[in-house]
Amino acid sequence: MSLIFRRILFVFLLGLTATLVNGVARAQSAAMPSPHRTIRLTSQKITLPFGDKVFAGDGKIVKVTNQHCLLCHSRGMIDTQPPLTLDTWKKEVDKMRTAYGCPLRADQTAEIADFIAHAASAPAPNGN
């Protein structure tokens, strides 16, 4: 099982428990008056999309990219970039590793940057 799908399964189980707990919390949401303009604050609960679109293909580099570049943001972050040079993509991948903790080795940067530079120049129309 890929890293990303193991994560999803894990959070699914946590989430099940969470839904039960939340059901109770919501029932007691209180209205609270304020002295001048009355702003009522009531407990909130929403559902957010995950944005699970991956890069298509089954080469090793596709897999490595899907496992690493979609961990912290959906593919839309990549697909909506302007045309960037390979050098800029290398800097971006390095930034993801060093500034944000993308679990890649330094020697994987060039290969991923090269793949992304081509994949991102042909974004799907419903980018997410």
Partner 1 sequence: MEALVNPTDYVNAESPAPSTSGPLPRRSFLKMTAGLIAGGILGRSLPAFAAKLIQLPFANGSRQLVRFPQKGEMILLRQRPPLLETPFEVFDRGVFTPNEQFFVRWHLPVIPTSIDVNTFRLRVDGHVRTPIELSLKEILRQPQIELAAINQCSGNSRGFSSPRVPGGEWGNGAMGNALWTGVTLKSILDRAGVLPGAVQVRFNGLDTGQMPETPLFMKSLDLDHAMDGEVMVAYGMNGTQLPMLNGFPLRLIVPGWYSTYWVKMLSHIEVLDKPDDNYWMHTAYLIPDTPGGTMAPDAKDVKMVPINRLVPRSFITNLRDNATVRRGVPIAVRGIAFGGDTGVKSVDFSSDGGTTWQNAALGKDYGRYSFRRWNATFVAKQPGDYKLMVKATNSNDLAQPATPTWNPGGFMRNVIEQVTVHTA
Interface with ligand HEC by CB under 6 A: which residues?
Answer: 68-69, 71-73, 77-78, 81, 92-93, 95-96, 100-102, 112, 116
Q: CB–CB of 54/70 below 8 Å?
A: yes
Q: Which of 118, 120, 75, 73 is nearest to 100 (CA)?
A: 73
Q: Does 1 bind partner 1 (CB under 8 A)?
A: no
**Chain centroid offset of residue 42 CA:** 28
68 binds, among partner 1, ligand HEC, none (CB under 5 to 8 A by kind): ligand HEC
Q: Report whether 86 contacts 113 (CB < 8 A).
A: yes
**Structural contact between residues 128 and 53, judged by C-beta atoms closer than 8 angstroms:** yes
Instruction: Find the part of the chain contacting partner 1 (CB under 8 A) among 25-33, 57-65, 106-114.
Output: 25-33
Binding partner of 116, given ligand HEC, partner 1, none, CB within 5-8 angstroms per partner class: ligand HEC
**Residue reference for tokens 């020697």:** 107
Rule CB under 8 A: say whether 36 interacts with partner 1. Answer: yes
Beta carbon of residue 59, minimum distance to partner 1 (angstroms, whole number): 23
